[in-house]
Amino acid sequence: MASFKILVTGATGYIGGTILSDLVKSQHDSIRKSSISGLVRGKVKAEILSDKGVKAELFSDLDASDEIEKVASGYDMVIRAASGYHEGSAKALILGLGRRKKSTGNDVYYIHTSGTSNLGDQPITGKYTEDHVFSDKEDVYSYEKMRNEKQPYPQRQTDLVVIETGLKVGVKTYIIMSPLIYGIGTGHFNQQSIQIPAMIKAALKTKQAEVIADGKASWDHVHVGDLAELYEIVVQKLLAGEDLPSGEKGIYFSANGRFTWLEVSQGIADALFTLGISKTEKVKSISLEEAAESWVGGSVLLAELAFASNSLTEPELGRSLGWKPHKTDRDFKNHFQTEVEKLMEEDEKKK
Protein backbone atom coordinates (compact mmCIF):
# COMPACT_ATOMS: atom_id res chain seq x y z
CA MET A 1 0.00 0.00 0.00
CA ALA A 2 1.35 3.46 -0.91
CA SER A 3 2.21 5.68 2.03
CA PHE A 4 -0.09 8.49 3.09
CA LYS A 5 1.13 11.76 1.57
CA ILE A 6 1.18 14.99 3.59
CA LEU A 7 2.03 18.42 2.17
CA VAL A 8 2.95 21.35 4.44
CA THR A 9 2.65 24.81 2.87
CA GLY A 10 4.44 27.77 4.40
CA ALA A 11 7.26 25.29 5.05
CA THR A 12 9.87 28.06 5.19
CA GLY A 13 7.75 30.17 7.53
CA TYR A 14 7.49 30.45 11.28
CA ILE A 15 4.44 28.25 11.90
CA GLY A 16 4.85 25.95 8.90
CA GLY A 17 8.53 25.36 9.54
CA THR A 18 7.85 24.45 13.16
CA ILE A 19 4.97 22.13 12.21
CA LEU A 20 7.14 20.47 9.57
CA SER A 21 10.02 19.84 11.96
CA ASP A 22 7.57 18.53 14.56
CA LEU A 23 6.02 16.06 12.12
CA VAL A 24 9.38 14.87 10.82
CA LYS A 25 10.52 13.94 14.34
CA SER A 26 7.10 12.60 15.44
CA GLN A 27 7.04 9.37 17.43
CA HIS A 28 3.59 8.37 16.13
CA ASP A 29 3.97 5.37 13.81
CA SER A 30 1.25 6.58 11.44
CA ILE A 31 3.05 9.90 10.92
CA ARG A 32 6.50 8.28 10.68
CA LYS A 33 5.19 6.00 7.94
CA SER A 34 3.73 8.92 5.98
CA SER A 35 5.49 10.78 3.20
CA ILE A 36 5.93 14.41 4.31
CA SER A 37 6.75 17.23 1.87
CA GLY A 38 7.15 20.98 2.10
CA LEU A 39 5.88 23.46 -0.49
CA VAL A 40 8.55 26.10 -1.15
CA ARG A 41 9.59 28.82 -3.56
CA GLY A 42 13.09 28.64 -5.00
CA LYS A 43 15.55 25.83 -5.63
CA VAL A 44 17.93 26.96 -2.88
CA LYS A 45 15.28 26.51 -0.19
CA ALA A 46 14.22 23.22 -1.74
CA GLU A 47 17.81 21.97 -1.58
CA ILE A 48 18.09 23.00 2.09
CA LEU A 49 14.96 21.00 2.93
CA SER A 50 16.20 18.04 0.91
CA ASP A 51 19.47 18.11 2.87
CA LYS A 52 17.35 17.87 6.02
CA GLY A 53 15.59 14.80 4.67
CA VAL A 54 12.36 16.51 3.64
CA LYS A 55 11.00 16.29 0.10
CA ALA A 56 10.35 19.72 -1.40
CA GLU A 57 7.63 20.70 -3.87
CA LEU A 58 8.36 23.87 -5.85
CA PHE A 59 5.80 26.52 -6.75
CA SER A 60 6.09 30.05 -8.13
CA ASP A 61 3.78 32.13 -5.91
CA LEU A 62 0.44 32.10 -4.07
CA ASP A 63 -1.40 33.52 -7.06
CA ALA A 64 -0.49 30.51 -9.24
CA SER A 65 -3.79 28.75 -8.54
CA ASP A 66 -3.61 26.13 -11.30
CA GLU A 67 -0.08 25.22 -10.28
CA ILE A 68 -1.02 24.93 -6.58
CA GLU A 69 -4.12 22.88 -7.35
CA LYS A 70 -2.06 20.44 -9.40
CA VAL A 71 0.49 19.99 -6.61
CA ALA A 72 -2.24 19.44 -4.00
CA SER A 73 -3.91 16.80 -6.19
CA GLY A 74 -0.96 14.53 -5.46
CA TYR A 75 -1.52 14.55 -1.68
CA ASP A 76 -3.93 13.05 0.84
CA MET A 77 -3.56 15.85 3.39
CA VAL A 78 -2.52 19.48 3.13
CA ILE A 79 -1.49 21.51 6.17
CA ARG A 80 -1.66 25.12 5.12
CA ALA A 81 0.54 27.42 7.16
CA ALA A 82 1.10 30.07 4.50
CA SER A 83 -0.76 33.39 4.66
CA GLY A 84 -4.25 33.00 6.10
CA TYR A 85 -5.20 36.17 4.22
CA HIS A 86 -4.80 34.64 0.74
CA GLU A 87 -8.15 33.22 -0.31
CA GLY A 88 -7.21 32.05 -3.80
CA SER A 89 -4.40 29.72 -2.79
CA ALA A 90 -6.48 28.18 0.00
CA LYS A 91 -9.27 27.42 -2.46
CA ALA A 92 -6.79 25.97 -4.99
CA LEU A 93 -5.36 23.60 -2.40
CA ILE A 94 -8.82 22.32 -1.49
CA LEU A 95 -9.82 21.89 -5.13
CA GLY A 96 -6.61 19.90 -5.66
CA LEU A 97 -7.48 17.65 -2.73
CA GLY A 98 -10.95 17.23 -4.24
CA ARG A 99 -9.31 15.91 -7.40
CA ARG A 100 -7.26 13.51 -5.29
CA LYS A 101 -10.37 12.18 -3.59
CA LYS A 102 -12.11 11.71 -6.91
CA SER A 103 -9.20 9.72 -8.33
CA THR A 104 -8.51 7.54 -5.26
CA GLY A 105 -11.93 7.25 -3.66
CA ASN A 106 -10.33 7.91 -0.27
CA ASP A 107 -10.96 10.71 2.23
CA VAL A 108 -8.66 13.72 2.01
CA TYR A 109 -7.98 16.36 4.64
CA TYR A 110 -7.18 20.06 4.69
CA ILE A 111 -5.87 21.74 7.87
CA HIS A 112 -5.91 25.53 7.65
CA THR A 113 -4.06 28.10 9.75
CA SER A 114 -6.04 31.16 10.82
CA GLY A 115 -6.00 33.70 13.65
CA THR A 116 -8.24 35.10 16.36
CA SER A 117 -8.01 38.65 15.06
CA ASN A 118 -11.05 37.39 13.11
CA LEU A 119 -13.00 37.57 16.37
CA GLY A 120 -11.49 40.78 17.68
CA ASP A 121 -13.67 43.76 18.53
CA GLN A 122 -12.86 47.39 17.72
CA PRO A 123 -12.59 49.28 21.00
CA ILE A 124 -10.59 52.19 19.59
CA THR A 125 -12.82 53.20 16.68
CA GLY A 126 -15.98 51.82 18.32
CA LYS A 127 -17.08 50.25 15.03
CA TYR A 128 -17.75 46.88 16.67
CA THR A 129 -17.93 45.96 20.35
CA GLU A 130 -17.78 42.45 21.77
CA ASP A 131 -17.84 41.11 25.32
CA HIS A 132 -17.64 37.36 24.91
CA VAL A 133 -15.22 34.52 25.53
CA PHE A 134 -15.60 32.22 22.53
CA SER A 135 -15.57 28.43 22.80
CA ASP A 136 -14.73 26.36 19.73
CA LYS A 137 -17.75 24.22 20.54
CA GLU A 138 -19.94 27.19 19.62
CA ASP A 139 -21.06 27.99 16.07
CA VAL A 140 -17.97 30.05 15.24
CA TYR A 141 -18.59 29.65 11.51
CA SER A 142 -21.93 31.52 11.72
CA TYR A 143 -20.34 34.22 13.83
CA GLU A 144 -17.57 34.74 11.27
CA LYS A 145 -20.16 34.90 8.51
CA MET A 146 -22.15 37.52 10.40
CA ARG A 147 -19.07 39.62 11.17
CA ASN A 148 -17.82 39.45 7.60
CA GLU A 149 -21.13 40.67 6.24
CA LYS A 150 -20.81 43.72 8.48
CA GLN A 151 -17.15 44.34 7.71
CA PRO A 152 -15.10 42.22 5.29
CA TYR A 153 -11.73 41.08 6.63
CA PRO A 154 -9.46 38.97 4.36
CA GLN A 155 -8.45 36.34 6.93
CA ARG A 156 -12.05 35.86 8.04
CA GLN A 157 -13.22 35.71 4.43
CA THR A 158 -10.63 33.01 3.73
CA ASP A 159 -11.98 30.90 6.61
CA LEU A 160 -15.45 31.04 5.06
CA VAL A 161 -14.11 30.08 1.63
CA VAL A 162 -12.20 27.15 3.15
CA ILE A 163 -15.28 25.74 4.84
CA GLU A 164 -17.65 26.30 1.94
CA THR A 165 -15.26 25.01 -0.75
CA GLY A 166 -14.50 21.92 1.33
CA LEU A 167 -18.19 21.14 1.73
CA LYS A 168 -18.75 21.65 -2.00
CA VAL A 169 -16.03 19.24 -3.19
CA GLY A 170 -16.13 16.72 -0.34
CA VAL A 171 -12.86 17.68 1.36
CA LYS A 172 -12.83 17.54 5.16
CA THR A 173 -11.56 20.88 6.46
CA TYR A 174 -10.15 21.82 9.85
CA ILE A 175 -9.25 25.40 10.81
CA ILE A 176 -6.83 25.98 13.68
CA MET A 177 -7.47 29.55 14.75
CA SER A 178 -4.63 30.77 16.93
CA PRO A 179 -4.13 33.83 19.12
CA LEU A 180 -0.80 35.65 19.45
CA ILE A 181 1.94 33.07 18.87
CA TYR A 182 5.27 33.52 20.63
CA GLY A 183 8.57 31.71 21.08
CA ILE A 184 11.40 30.83 18.72
CA GLY A 185 10.33 28.42 15.98
CA THR A 186 12.16 25.22 15.09
CA GLY A 187 12.00 25.47 11.30
CA HIS A 188 15.06 25.90 9.09
CA PHE A 189 14.20 29.40 7.88
CA ASN A 190 12.06 32.07 9.58
CA GLN A 191 11.93 31.39 13.33
CA GLN A 192 10.01 34.43 14.56
CA SER A 193 6.35 35.33 14.72
CA ILE A 194 4.59 38.47 13.45
CA GLN A 195 2.87 40.54 16.12
CA ILE A 196 5.46 40.94 18.89
CA PRO A 197 8.41 41.20 16.45
CA ALA A 198 6.56 43.98 14.60
CA MET A 199 6.22 45.89 17.86
CA ILE A 200 9.86 45.22 18.76
CA LYS A 201 11.16 46.39 15.37
CA ALA A 202 9.31 49.68 15.81
CA ALA A 203 10.63 50.03 19.37
CA LEU A 204 14.22 49.40 18.23
CA LYS A 205 13.88 52.33 15.82
CA THR A 206 12.40 54.77 18.35
CA LYS A 207 14.31 53.37 21.37
CA GLN A 208 11.03 53.11 23.29
CA ALA A 209 8.21 50.55 23.45
CA GLU A 210 4.79 51.73 22.32
CA VAL A 211 1.17 50.75 22.89
CA ILE A 212 -2.04 51.72 21.11
CA ALA A 213 -4.11 54.01 23.37
CA ASP A 214 -4.22 52.61 26.94
CA GLY A 215 -3.58 48.97 25.96
CA LYS A 216 -6.28 47.63 28.26
CA ALA A 217 -7.80 45.21 25.74
CA SER A 218 -7.10 41.48 26.31
CA TRP A 219 -5.96 38.67 24.03
CA ASP A 220 -4.74 35.09 24.34
CA HIS A 221 -1.32 33.60 23.59
CA VAL A 222 0.19 30.20 22.71
CA HIS A 223 3.79 29.04 22.37
CA VAL A 224 4.69 27.93 18.85
CA GLY A 225 5.92 24.54 20.13
CA ASP A 226 2.62 23.86 21.92
CA LEU A 227 0.75 24.93 18.79
CA ALA A 228 2.74 22.51 16.62
CA GLU A 229 1.78 19.72 19.01
CA LEU A 230 -1.90 20.51 18.44
CA TYR A 231 -1.40 20.13 14.68
CA GLU A 232 0.41 16.85 15.28
CA ILE A 233 -2.46 15.53 17.43
CA VAL A 234 -5.03 16.41 14.77
CA VAL A 235 -2.91 14.76 12.06
CA GLN A 236 -2.36 11.62 14.13
CA LYS A 237 -6.04 11.23 14.96
CA LEU A 238 -7.09 11.71 11.34
CA LEU A 239 -4.56 9.09 10.24
CA ALA A 240 -6.02 6.77 12.89
CA GLY A 241 -9.42 7.15 11.23
CA GLU A 242 -11.06 9.19 13.97
CA ASP A 243 -14.01 11.30 12.91
CA LEU A 244 -13.07 14.77 14.18
CA PRO A 245 -15.40 17.79 13.90
CA SER A 246 -14.85 19.29 10.45
CA GLY A 247 -16.35 21.84 8.08
CA GLU A 248 -18.70 24.26 9.83
CA LYS A 249 -17.93 22.61 13.18
CA GLY A 250 -14.21 22.22 12.51
CA ILE A 251 -12.79 25.49 13.89
CA TYR A 252 -10.27 24.75 16.66
CA PHE A 253 -8.83 27.33 19.06
CA SER A 254 -5.34 27.05 20.55
CA ALA A 255 -5.20 29.57 23.39
CA ASN A 256 -3.12 28.78 26.46
CA GLY A 257 -2.88 32.05 28.39
CA ARG A 258 -4.10 35.63 28.51
CA PHE A 259 -2.57 39.12 28.45
CA THR A 260 -3.31 42.79 27.90
CA TRP A 261 -1.60 44.73 25.13
CA LEU A 262 -0.06 47.02 27.75
CA GLU A 263 1.57 43.96 29.37
CA VAL A 264 3.14 43.08 26.02
CA SER A 265 4.45 46.60 25.51
CA GLN A 266 5.78 46.70 29.08
CA GLY A 267 7.54 43.37 28.50
CA ILE A 268 9.24 44.85 25.44
CA ALA A 269 10.11 48.04 27.34
CA ASP A 270 11.70 46.06 30.19
CA ALA A 271 13.73 43.98 27.72
CA LEU A 272 14.99 47.05 25.87
CA PHE A 273 15.97 48.72 29.15
CA THR A 274 17.73 45.61 30.47
CA LEU A 275 19.73 45.27 27.24
CA GLY A 276 20.71 48.94 27.33
CA ILE A 277 18.84 49.77 24.12
CA SER A 278 16.38 52.15 25.75
CA LYS A 279 16.98 54.67 28.54
CA THR A 280 13.45 54.26 29.89
CA GLU A 281 11.17 51.45 31.03
CA LYS A 282 8.13 53.60 30.32
CA VAL A 283 5.73 52.72 27.49
CA LYS A 284 4.64 55.45 25.10
CA SER A 285 0.98 55.63 24.06
CA ILE A 286 0.44 56.14 20.32
CA SER A 287 -2.62 56.50 18.09
CA LEU A 288 -4.15 53.72 16.05
CA GLU A 289 -3.10 55.52 12.88
CA GLU A 290 0.52 55.81 14.05
CA ALA A 291 0.62 52.10 14.91
CA ALA A 292 -0.91 51.17 11.57
CA GLU A 293 1.79 53.08 9.72
CA SER A 294 4.64 51.78 11.87
CA TRP A 295 3.59 48.18 12.51
CA VAL A 296 1.43 46.91 9.63
CA GLY A 297 2.11 49.01 6.57
CA GLY A 298 -0.80 51.40 6.97
CA SER A 299 -3.89 49.21 7.55
CA VAL A 300 -5.90 50.77 10.37
CA LEU A 301 -8.31 47.83 10.44
CA LEU A 302 -5.51 45.28 10.80
CA ALA A 303 -3.79 47.36 13.47
CA GLU A 304 -6.96 47.54 15.55
CA LEU A 305 -7.97 43.89 15.16
CA ALA A 306 -4.48 42.42 15.63
CA PHE A 307 -2.88 44.86 18.13
CA ALA A 308 -5.62 46.63 20.10
CA SER A 309 -8.75 44.47 20.21
CA ASN A 310 -10.29 42.11 22.74
CA SER A 311 -10.22 38.51 21.49
CA LEU A 312 -10.68 35.72 24.05
CA THR A 313 -11.13 32.02 23.30
CA GLU A 314 -11.35 28.62 25.00
CA PRO A 315 -9.82 25.62 23.14
CA GLU A 316 -12.30 23.00 24.29
CA LEU A 317 -12.06 20.88 21.13
CA GLY A 318 -8.27 20.64 21.24
CA ARG A 319 -8.24 19.74 24.91
CA SER A 320 -10.88 17.08 24.29
CA LEU A 321 -8.42 15.51 21.80
CA GLY A 322 -5.76 15.31 24.50
CA TRP A 323 -3.85 18.52 23.75
CA LYS A 324 -1.90 19.54 26.86
CA PRO A 325 0.28 22.61 26.27
CA HIS A 326 3.42 22.81 28.38
CA LYS A 327 4.22 26.51 28.48
CA THR A 328 2.80 28.85 31.13
CA ASP A 329 2.04 32.54 31.57
CA ARG A 330 5.46 32.83 33.23
CA ASP A 331 7.11 31.56 30.03
CA PHE A 332 5.22 34.20 28.08
CA LYS A 333 6.22 37.02 30.43
CA ASN A 334 9.86 35.93 30.40
CA HIS A 335 10.31 35.55 26.63
CA PHE A 336 10.56 39.18 25.49
CA GLN A 337 14.30 39.58 25.93
CA THR A 338 14.91 36.45 23.84
CA GLU A 339 12.74 37.91 21.06
CA VAL A 340 14.66 41.21 21.11
CA GLU A 341 18.03 39.45 21.04
CA LYS A 342 16.92 37.19 18.17
CA LEU A 343 15.80 40.17 16.09
CA MET A 344 19.06 41.99 16.72
CA GLU A 345 20.99 38.86 15.77
CA GLU A 346 19.06 38.61 12.49
CA ASP A 347 19.72 42.29 11.77
CA GLU A 348 23.44 41.76 12.28
CA LYS A 349 23.44 38.85 9.81
CA LYS A 350 21.89 41.10 7.14
CA LYS A 351 24.64 43.72 7.45
Distance from C-alpha of 111 to C-alpha of 118, rounded to nearest angstrom? 17
Instruction: Give the Å distances, CA to CA, from 197 to 183, 194, 201.
Output: 11, 6, 6
Whole-model pTM above 0.75?
A: yes
Distance from C-alpha of 251 to C-alpha of 137, rounded to nearest angstrom? 8
* Rounded (10°) angle between helices 154-169 and 87-104: 10
Instruction: Give the Å distances, CA to CA, from 348 to 22, 171, 184, 202.
Output: 28, 45, 17, 17
For the segment 9-32, what is each residue's pLDDT rounded down to a tens digit? 999 999 999 999 999 999 999 999
CA R_g for the chain:
20
For the segment 236-282, what is each residue's pLDDT rounded down to a tens digit? 999 999 999 999 999 999 999 999 999 999 999 999 999 999 999 99
Distance from C-alpha of 191 to C-alpha of 185, rounded to nearest angstrom? 4
Sequence spans of domains, the chain:
5-191+221-255+312-317
* Residue 2 banded pLDDT, cuts 50, 70, 90: low
Domain 5-191+221-255+312-317 maps to which CATH number in 3.40.50.720, 3.30.2000.20, 1.10.510.10, 1.10.10.10? 3.40.50.720
* Residue 1 banded pLDDT, cuts 50, 70, 90: very low
For the segment 42-95, what is each residue's pLDDT rounded down to a tens digit? 999 999 999 988 999 999 999 999 999 999 999 999 999 999 999 999 999 999
For the segment 277-324, what is each residue's pLDDT rounded down to a tens digit? 999 999 999 999 999 999 999 999 999 999 999 999 999 999 999 999
Average pLDDT of the chain?
96
